[in-house]
Amino acid sequence: MSHRPIHLGVNIDHAATLRQARYRGAHASHHAEPDVVAFTREALAGGADGITVHLREDRRHIQDADVLAIAKIPGVRLNLEMACTAAMVAFACQLRPAAVCLVPESREEVTTEGGLDVATQLTRVTETTQALQAAGIEVSLFIGPDARQITAAKATGAPVVELHTGAFANAWKSPAADAELARLHAGCELAHGLGLVVNAGHGINYDNIRSILTLPHLHELNIGHSIVARALFTGIRSAVAEMKSHLVRPA
Ligand code: PXP
């Protein structure tokens, strides 16, 4: 039986969360710890296929300078998570990361699943997608595993969806988990059937990954919190390598 590895995108936002807890504003410093770029290099050494950062409008963790420095690391495949705003589109078009994942930031943009509400903002998301694609950036939409959102995502012309696994992760080890996994399964099938590349992320950890790996057609998983949390004990290189070792399954 052949085995097809799933790509691992490591979200390093929470290394910056730790730094910002001490060093921000008047306390910002060149010597601020942890060094997010060094952390990123170690994640890559552990086998990360890509690095994901979310440059939030409130800059609560990752800062502009972090993104610019990470983008300069040789060979890095950078996935920039961002809101659908003109300012962020301008930033991304100048930076030209390999990929952008459009995510909701304000309450009005969020569906019940927690993903981007593409269906009610079709024009805005389509225009944003087109602007990013014109700059040569691969666009992904972070949406709930919901048929309405998946078909809307297809209509925008974005080639990739990242299905929100948060509801499943929250339900993990409860009676509701099977139903959430079934919804993700149906979402993966629908998106793949429409010709979309299927990624997934949010709340995935070293335990629930076993169930996530039963989902069909997965191309990439974006995982942040659990890997950074484990890195406190093992170091990020080892934490990434361990998660990466799980991401092989029967093709
Ligand atoms: N994918 C997207 C689009 C996200 O916004 C996040 C959280 O920042 C993740 C994946 C990673 O989630 P977690 O940190 O729970 O692994």
Query: Is residue 74 situated within a structural domain?
Result: yes
Residue 249 vs residues 10, 65, 209: alpha-carbon distances, Å: 19, 37, 11
> Is residue 50 within 6 Å of ligand 1 at its C-beta?
no
Q: What is the pLDDT of residue 250?
A: 56
Query: Is residue 180 situated within a structural domain?
Result: yes
Domain that holds residue 218: 8-250
Q: What is the pLDDT of residue 13?
A: 97
Query: Could you say which of 81, 113, 180, 220 is catalytic?
Result: 81
> Is residue 168 within 6 Å of ligand 1 at its C-beta?
no
Domain count, the chain: 1
Q: What is the pLDDT of residue 1?
A: 41
Q: What is the pLDDT of residue 31?
A: 83
CATH number of the domain within which 223 lies: 3.20.20.70
Three-class DSSP category at 68 = helix
Is residue 54 flagged as an active site residue? yes
Q: What is the mean pLDDT of each run of 10 residues along the chain (251 residues)?
A: 79 96 81 95 98 96 96 98 97 98 90 91 98 98 98 98 98 97 98 98 98 97 98 98 87 53
Is residue 27 flagged as an active site residue? no
Residue 233 sits at φ, ψ, to 5 deg, of -95, -40
Is residue 14 flagged as an active site residue? no
Q: What is the pLDDT of residue 113?
A: 80
Query: Is residue 133 situated within a structural domain?
Result: yes
Residue 178 sits at φ, ψ, to 5 deg, of -65, -40
Residue 65 vs residues 11, 62, 91, 132, 151: alpha-carbon distances, Å: 17, 8, 12, 21, 36
Interhelix angle 147-156/122-134, nearest 10 degrees: 40
Determine whether 243 is exposed, middle or buried from the number of CB atoms within 10 Å of its CB (0-12, 13-18, 19+).
Answer: buried
> Is residue 105 within 6 Å of ligand 1 at its C-beta?
no
Q: What is the pLDDT of residue 251?
A: 53
Query: Could you say which of 14, 61, 164, 202 is catalytic?
Result: 202
Determine whether 79 is exposed, middle or buried from the number of CB atoms within 10 Å of its CB (0-12, 13-18, 19+).
Answer: buried
SS (H, E, C) 220-247: EEEECHHHHHHHHHHCHHHHHHHHHHHC
Query: Is residue 1 situated within a structural domain?
Result: no
